[in-house]
Amino acid sequence: MATSLGLKKPMIAITGSAGKSTTKEMLAAILRRKWKVFKTPANHNLYSHTRNYAKQLKRGSYRAAVLEYGLSAKGHIRLHCQAIRPDISIVTNIGTAHLGSFGGDIKKLIRAKSEIIRYMSPSGMAVYNIDDANSRAMPKGNFRGTLVTVGIQSAKADYRAQNISYGKGGMNFSVKIDGTSQRFFIPIYGRHQVYNGLCAIAVASRLGFTPAEIRAGLRNYTRMQSRLTVRRVPSGALVIDDTYSANPNAAKAAIDVLSAIGGKNKVAVLGNMLSLGQYTKIGHRGVGSYIAKKRVTYLYTYGKYAYQIGSSAVAAGFNSNHWRHFTSRPALHQSLRKHLQQGTTFLVKGSHATNMKQTVLYLVRSKK
């Protein structure tokens, strides 16, 4: 627990292809039940930001820091660690985000992400997702501290979520802590979000926080905007706004949420996924094949690369009459109008630069 870690002022750093900001907010909300905590503002996670945070931490009377370490190239995580050396690290997962910056080579991306373990305090604690093969493959360098695993599928996970269910406004799940099963709720949809909750639970538990304190923090954490935010619009339809960013793994996870909570008509509106480099075509096609296996009623794609999502979905068996592709946003919006009714759920997703938020705003403001 806290004394076994021997940390008077833990510096906690989080990296990963997805879930950094959500995990940070979850963990910070728990720690703030008792402590004054510094956290990365919004998703300002460049190493230049971390250098500035180091100065703020020296001036402030913080009990702990929860930081995001972002990267877009090899060596970026090392620069973060040189600015603020973590005692505790979390790797949420290693997927397809920023894969284009590494020439489509997943092994290079894995090694770049592993810098958080190789350059943190060698006697600290590193948390990672044991269900994720890429995270398991990370080289550990000279790290001789404590490795803590989270998971859903693997029985070997130190913190394993079981009895997972969709509830009103979020996910319910159980985790054994010190041999006793504890029930938790996170106010966000998605089985993949449970992994983020597990990472926060693992660290907070090891720092001595009680299950009751962890429960309260998770239930009240600050939600990030446009990350699986569900809104009911004037027409009676639901809109799942997941427009902050996109990569193939995150797109598939969002489609799972649409399938799970959507009404009679489930409409996926998907824009380009950027920064994939050589993986662009394969990544978009993979999302299309995935859609064909899910309970999606209509598919709308927007942008040059997103065409591959639709064509791949149809090739995998999706009804071709239920797919439409657009390169004009006004035309897309006009076509979506006919679905603005009770019983329809829209999922809107795309890379930030694709500006799919405009489509969300259109749906929210439209009465029919």
Q: Does the pLDDT of residue 39 top 50, yes or no?
A: yes
**Residue 98 confidence (pLDDT):** 85
Same domain membership, residue 206 and residue 245? no
Q: What is the mean pLDDT of residues 363-368?
A: 86
The answer as to whether 174 is a domain residue is yes
% of the chain surpassing 70 pLDDT = 98
Q: What is the mean pLDDT of the chain?
A: 95
CATH number of the domain enclosing 294? 3.90.190.20
The answer as to whether 182 is a domain residue is yes
Last residue of a domain, one of 191, 219, 247: 219
Domain that holds residue 147: 2-219
CATH number of the domain enclosing 208? 3.40.1190.10
Q: What is the mean pLDDT of residues 333-346?
A: 97
DSSP designation for 54: H
Listing from the earlier edge strand, what are the strands of the sheet with 88-91?
37-39, 64-68, 11-15, 88-91, 125-129, 146-151, 159-167, 170-177, 180-186
Band of the pLDDT at 7, cuts 50, 70, 90?
Answer: low
Q: Does the pLDDT of residue 5 top 60, yes or no?
A: no
Q: Does the pLDDT of residue 368 top 90, yes or no?
A: no
Q: What is the mean pLDDT of residues 5-12?
A: 74
**Model confidence pLDDT, tens digit, residues 48-69:** 999 999 999 988 899 999 999 9
**Residue 137 confidence (pLDDT):** 98
**Model confidence pLDDT, tens digit, residues 192-222:** 999 999 999 999 999 999 999 999 999 999 9
Same domain membership, residue 173 and residue 66? yes
The answer as to whether 224 is a domain residue is no
Residue 52 CB partners (closer than 8 Å, separation 6+): none
Last residue of a domain, one of 219, 238, 257: 219
**Model confidence pLDDT, tens digit, residues 98-142:** 888 898 899 999 999 999 999 999 999 999 999 999 999 999 999
Cβ neighbours of 66 (radius 10 Å): 28
Predicted TM-score of the model (pTM): 0.94
Band of the pLDDT at 1, cuts 50, 70, 90?
Answer: very low
**Model confidence pLDDT, tens digit, residues 301-338:** 999 999 999 999 999 999 999 999 999 999 999 999 99
Structure tokens at 310: 């639709």
Same domain membership, residue 247 and residue 173? no
